[in-house]
Amino acid sequence: MTKKENNNKALSASDTPYHKLSIQVSLNGLSFCVLDTVEKNLSLRYAHRFEAPVTPYRLQHELKEHLREQGVWDYAFTEVVAIHRNTLFSLVPQAFFREEDLADYLKFNAKMLPTDRLDHDPVAGLDLMNVYVPFTNINNYLYDLFGPFEFKHSGTVLLETLVKLPSSGQGTVCYAHLGESQLDIAVFAHKKLRFFNSFSLHGDLDFLYYLLFTLEQLGLDPLRVKLRLLGEVTEGDPIFEQASEYLENVAIFIPGGPGYPVTDAEASPDFTLIGAL
């Protein structure tokens, strides 16, 4: 199976395709949305969290059921993109990247199985390659449904979106993206990426521990650095209160701007899910 940017296989021959489908999968949950490319709004948006981490095969079963239950088959798609969200990745400078060395880039900081199939994404705007372990069974399932489609790692989508933001060029900004029991931390200083990593969250204080440890290792003053929270976090919830207790400049980042899909204002949009559209 190979990646492909566009998928022209419509689910309904009677419909003119003008929708895009974005699917994000992890062992802790799944989400998907349908973008109306004419009206530039979301026709469908759905997220589901599992009570406990599941196996990749259970994840495939859950995805199949939720796509059916939410009426995804009622749409015809011009494009389908899948986002694999996990901590099994490694960033490599493009100048040192060799495709035959994928396993070497991952084996020191990710638990790999002999059966794992590795893949990689170029990270636009940062001269990096993201080497990662995708959910191969999910890719095979989606290929059977839609034909050739595009897939990426969630870290690729997150970094490509963040580097384009005006705020990433204004001093030092720490972005903390939360979702599906995973924390992604990206630190930019004047459009330059200083740090990026992902952490699995298991307890109430894990977020604060990883955040403060990251700032300490980078030599950043919590009273001066800007922290922007994205994903499954809102003002007043425990994560926001924890951050505000130790950092001076904390805010919820709300994506938007020309070309960005219209979303429900009462719901915090998943940054990577929508950023992939």
For the chain, list the domains and their CATH numbers: 19-86+132-158+267-275 (3.30.420.250), 89-130 (no CATH), 160-252 (3.30.420.260)
Are 253 and 230 in contact, with CB atoms under 8 Å apart? yes
Place of tokens 């604060």: 208
CB 211 within 8 A of CB 263: no
Beta strand ranges found along the chain (DSSP E)? 19-26, 29-36, 41-49, 77-84, 89-93, 119-123, 128-132, 150-153, 172-179, 182-189, 192-200, 226-231, 249-252
Separation of alpha carbons 23 and 4, rounded Å = 15
According to the model, what pLDDT value does residue 108 have?
83
Choice among 2-6, 90-94, 220-224, 237-241 with the minimum mean pLDDT: 2-6
CB 32 within 8 A of CB 24: yes
Q: Which of the residue ranges 16-25, 151-160, 168-177 would you say has the lowest mean pLDDT?
A: 168-177
Q: What's the sign of the alpha-carbon dihedral 237, 241, 243, 247?
A: positive
* pLDDT higher than 80, residue 258: no
Contact 224, 173 (CB under 8 A): no
Task: Taking residues 77-104, report their average pLDDT.
Answer: 95
Write down the pLDDT at residue 260. Answer: 53
* pLDDT tens profile 219-249: 999 999 999 999 888 888 899 999 999 999 9
With cut-offs at 50, 70 and 90, classify the pLDDT of residue 132: very high
Name the token pair of 142: 């989606």
Give the C-alpha separation, 160 to 82, whole Å: 16
20-34, 100-114, 263-277: which has the minimum mean pLDDT?
263-277
**Residue 266's pLDDT band (boundaries 50, 70, 90)?**
very low
* Percent of the chain whose pLDDT exceeds 70: 88
Asked whether residue 268 carries a pLDDT value surpassing 80, the answer given is no
Q: What are phi and psi of 153, to 5 degrees?
A: -85, 150
Q: What percent of the chain stands above pLDDT 90?
A: 69
Residue 169: its pLDDT value, please?
65
Task: Give pLDDT, residue 267.
Answer: 45
Position with higher pLDDT, 232 vs 11: 232
Q: Which of 191, 204, 267 is nearest to 233 (CA)?
A: 267
Query: Residue 34: its pLDDT value, please?
Result: 94
- Listed in sequence order, the DSSP H helices in the chain are 56-69, 102-106, 136-146, 154-162, 206-217, 238-246, 271-275
Average pLDDT of the residues in 126-150: 95
Q: pLDDT for 180-230, tens place per residue?
A: 889 999 999 988 999 999 999 998 899 999 999 999 999 999 999 999 999
Torsion sign (Cα): 171, 205, 49, 85: positive
Mean pLDDT of the chain: 87
Say if residue 157's pLDDT is above 50.
Answer: yes
